[in-house]
Chains A and B, each alone.
Chain A
Amino acid sequence: KQEVTQIPAALSVPEGENLVLNCSFTDSAIYNLQWFRQDPGKGLTSLLLIQSSQREQTSGRLNASLDKSSGRSTLYIAASQPGDSATYLCAVRPDTGRRALTFGSGTRLQVQP
């Protein structure tokens, strides 16, 4: 059974810092991996989707990398801003069988002004 782990559970940084969020998964047979953002009391917003054949994806100040063989992904946020404060979740989709996403429990990020 796929397990997705995100470390750290919470992170507080001063504004302007570059930071890295980590995601690891136990089964490398994945179809793709997605990173989401969740604001308090809201639904999830998709940030980046990386196909299993890709190494990274970029969107603005966000860069997500994928090392499928080692079961790891990172989300890099450049020049963090207070508006980046939210919970970030990663999720993996298996490449066989039931193709529903399995989610990590998230990293809660606080960017201090």
Chain B
Amino acid sequence: DGGITQSPKYLFRKEGQNVTLSCEQNLNHDAMYWYRQDPGQGLRLIYYSQIVNDFQKGDIAEGYSVSREKKESFPLTVTSAQKNPTAFYLCASTWGYNSPLHFGNGTRLTVT
């Protein structure tokens, strides 16, 4: 069954620690995206990648980093430089501009 897998579903970290969120897709999509969702708000773009070994900053990239070494994988690292990291993080992918965006089920990160 094709789809996007995000793990873990819930993640708890202490302030000052880096944490990496996993995103894996078996849809053979070229483009992958990371969004952040805060309560009552729309999704905000963190990073995106159109092709392997290439990625671009979104609107709120500060304090985050990504890599795209494989087509199917796009991990997101939340660093200690991110001032307000507690949020719901969503990974997405698509064939291209004409195609719908597919989402994983998200990772809820809590930093205390």
**Which residues of A does B touch, CB under 8 Å?**
4, 9, 31-32, 34, 36, 41-46, 49, 51, 89, 91, 93, 98-101, 103-106
Instruction: Report yes or no: A104 in contact with B42, Cβ–Cβ below 8 A.
Output: yes
Q: A46-B100, A93-B97, A101-B43 are in contact. List 13 more A-B contacts (CB 8 A).
A: A32-B98, A36-B101, A42-B106, A43-B104, A44-B92, A44-B101, A46-B101, A89-B42, A99-B97, A100-B33, A100-B45, A100-B48, A103-B43
Count CB-based A-B contacts (< 8 Å).
56
Instruction: Report yes or no: B100 in contact with A34, Cβ–Cβ below 8 A.
Output: yes
Q: Is B105 located at the chain interface by the 8 A CB criterion? A: yes
Residues on A with C-beta less than 8 A from B104 are 43
Residues on A with C-beta less than 8 A from B101 are 34, 36, 44, 46, 91, 101
Instruction: Report yes or no: B105 in contact with A100, Cβ–Cβ below 8 A.
Output: no
Residues on A with C-beta less than 8 A from B42 are 4, 89, 103-106
Residue of B40, B48, B58, B100 touching A49 (CB-CB under 8 A): B100
Cross-chain pairs A/B with CB under 8 angstroms, 17 sampled: A9-B40, A32-B98, A36-B103, A42-B105, A43-B6, A43-B103, A43-B104, A43-B105, A44-B92, A46-B100, A46-B102, A89-B42, A91-B101, A93-B97, A101-B43, A101-B45, A103-B42
B73 to chain A, nearest CB (A): 17
Residues on B with C-beta less than 8 A from A89 are 42-43
CA distance A62 to B108 in the complex (A): 30
Q: Tell me the chain B residues, 37-92 only, with Cβ under 8 Å from chain A.
A: 40-45, 48, 56, 58, 90, 92
CA distance A99 to B43 in the complex (A): 15
CA distance A36 to B106 in the complex (A): 15
Residues on B with C-beta less than 8 A from A44 are 43, 90, 92, 101, 103
Residues on B with C-beta less than 8 A from A36 are 101, 103
Instruction: Report yes or no: B40 in contact with A31, Cβ–Cβ below 8 A.
Output: no
CA distance A49 to B106 in the complex (A): 22
Instruction: Report yes or no: A98 in contact with B56, Cβ–Cβ below 8 A.
Output: yes
Instruction: Report yes or no: A32 in contact with B97, Cβ–Cβ below 8 A.
Output: yes
CA distance A45 to B103 in the complex (A): 7
CA distance A93 to B100 in the complex (A): 11
